[in-house]
Structure 1
Amino acid sequence: MVLDIRGRIGKHPVATFFVVAYVLSWTAWSPLVFAEWWATWSPLVLAGDLQTMVLIMVGGFGPLVAAALVTWIVGDSVREWAGQLLRWNVSLRYWAFALLFPAVAIVTASLVHIAVFDGQFDPASTSTLVLYPVLFLQVFLVGGGNEELGWRGFALPRLQRSYSALIASLLIGVGWFAWHLPLFVVAGSSQAGVPVYYYALAVVALSVVFTWLYNETGGSVLLTMVLHASVNTGGILYLAGGGAALQTELPNVLYAVVFLVAALAVVAAYGPERLSDVEIPTRPSGNRR
């Protein structure tokens, strides 16, 4: 029986990964989605904002745990999979991109908002720069970066065995977006109040950019974690209202369009097959075709 289950998972590891990630994360978030029902029936509810923060963070580890479980079940090396976190010795230009691209994107979007759509520059948006390093570190560890051993570290190289890098990116992008869906109805989450359709466009476009970075660096999950943390932290740099502006429609449109342009540029420059100038990783160890 056990061997049969392992064999089935071995035939569909990526699908299994997504199912397990969704189950783990959505189970953790369910007390927030069904807050009123949960408060009635469970004596273990924390109070207010603390509950939201803790459960969102716990659920955020679903992709990582799912990837570790499926890697172990199918008999692949968990050490090699986790070792992608140590792939730091890459060109400085990739470090610079991972750290700076999201900031450039958010500033570009906000400048368009100000110049074209009569947005008002908010000096308070620059005062948050002092918080940026602290927020970045938090997001890197528990607010998004921790997902990357799942999306890119596990799913991407396996999908690239069967599909072009572009198709693999789009599949992950859709799955990555859908994974966030419960958070759109959770007050206090960063997705609450954000227009779903523009968020979806941004995430799918970003998935192409993440694939480019992962492939170009020979499978560095560390760099994709840095990029993820930069994206999630970069919203506070929006010059026309700060991070709060990203709860409204126009900033989300502009932000999504900037990411879409970046994704299209990657496809045009590198081609859809590899989204890279080098042979692409098809195993989580960084091994290539």
Structure 2
Amino acid sequence: MSAITAWTRRHRLTVFFGLAFAVSWWAWPFYVAGSSPTPFFACGPVVAAIVVIAVADGRAGYRDLFARLTRWRVGWTWWAVAIGMPLAVLAVASVANVTLWGAPAPDLGRLAWADIGLVVAFRFVDPLDGPFGEEPGWRAYALPRLQEKWSPLRAATTLGVVAALWHLPLVTSGMLAPIGLVVTFAITLVYVWLVNHTGGSALMALVFHVAQGAISYAALGFTGADADRMDWLTGALWCLIAAGLVLADRPAWRTTPAAHAGPSSTSTAALSG
């Protein structure tokens, strides 16, 4: 066993997080200097998971990652939650924007549903987009290992801080509103709650993430100040939902079910963080 392999096995999460940031942030200074078209690559977490598994775990690690990303037998109720919750938040925020602030009402009949369907399909497989770029790393790889050592609440808040900081290049470049960092932290709690209630299914997190961005503000007719207000409205709703889940489902945040707390295809001893 090489020294690099041995060190990586002892510090899987440290290496994973370091690689995730390095891969996603490498273009940031070049963007600031005007020599890169983008400051950020969303594929950092999935690339980091693939690399760390290759060095430290091999086939067993890939089997575990694949099992979490394809765990679809979770009950129709959780499918409805994963798809319906993000759409409900968008709908409530849109109604508030129209009724309280006079934004133009969306014309759902004029939405390009075929285009939305293509966007949804592409987001499931595009590593440069948020869902597939993040979920195999954050929820399928890092979360189980964090929960081997900590309670779900501590694991979720830690991952929420990391994921929020990871988005910093988007904020400094104006591609993400600053409130997005707070929302990222809050919605991480929702992701963890969903994954833990579905037997460790990172697929549900992927579906949730795809649904969250399936319909843009622009597609609904919100532009300018109306679109900016949507960021605040949806952000406030996600913060309320996260707080509500923590307060209303306290047992879920104390102990992770043993069946999906850590890697399912290999021993905890072999794959400790």
TM-score by length of 2: 0.83
Contact 2:164 2:184 in 1 (8 A): yes
1:220–1:243: structure 2 CA closer, same or farther, 3 Å change rule?
farther
| % same residue | 28
Deviation at 1:153, TM superposition (A): 0.7
Deviation at 1:285, TM superposition (A): 2.7
1:168 and 1:232 mapped to 2: Cα distance?
A: 25
2:235 is equivalent to residue 256 of structure 1: yes
Counterpart of 1:81? 65
2:68 is equivalent to residue 65 of structure 1: no
Q: Report Cα offsets for 1:113-149 as digits up to 9, x if no partner.
A: 2222333324379524442211111222212221211
2:158 and 2:75 mapped to 1: Cα distance?
A: 28
1:228 is aligned, of 190, 209, 230, to 209
Counterpart amino acid of 1:150? Answer: G
Counterpart of 1:103? 87
Deviation at 1:8, TM superposition (A): 3.0
1:134–1:238: structure 2 CA closer, same or farther, 3 Å change rule?
closer
TM-score by length of 1: 0.79
What 5-or-longer segments of structure 2 have no aligned partner? 269-273
Contact 2:104 2:222 in 1 (8 A): no
1:102 and 1:152 mapped to 2: Cα distance?
A: 17
- Runs ≥4 residues deviating over 4 A: 28-31, 243-247, 275-280, 286-289
SS of equivalent to 1:242: coil
Deviation at 1:235, TM superposition (A): 3.3
1:14 and 1:201 mapped to 2: Cα distance?
A: 23
1:243 and 1:217 mapped to 2: Cα distance?
A: 37
Deviation at 1:254, TM superposition (A): 0.9
1:260–1:126: structure 2 CA closer, same or farther, 3 Å change rule?
farther
Query: Aligned residues, how many?
Result: 263
State the Cα RMSD in Å.
3.0
Q: Report Cα offsets for 1:210-254 as digits up to 9, x if no partner.
A: 111111111112111111111122434875x33766752x22111
Give 1:1-289 correspondences, 5 Å limit.
3-28=2-27, 31=30, 33-34=31-32, 36-37=34-35, 59-75=41-57, 77-123=61-107, 127-142=111-126, 143-146=129-132, 147-186=134-173, 192=175, 194-196=176-178, 198-236=179-217, 239=220, 241-242=221-222, 248=228, 250-271=229-250, 274=253, 279=258, 281-285=260-264
What 5-or-longer segments of structure 1 have no aligned partner? 39-50
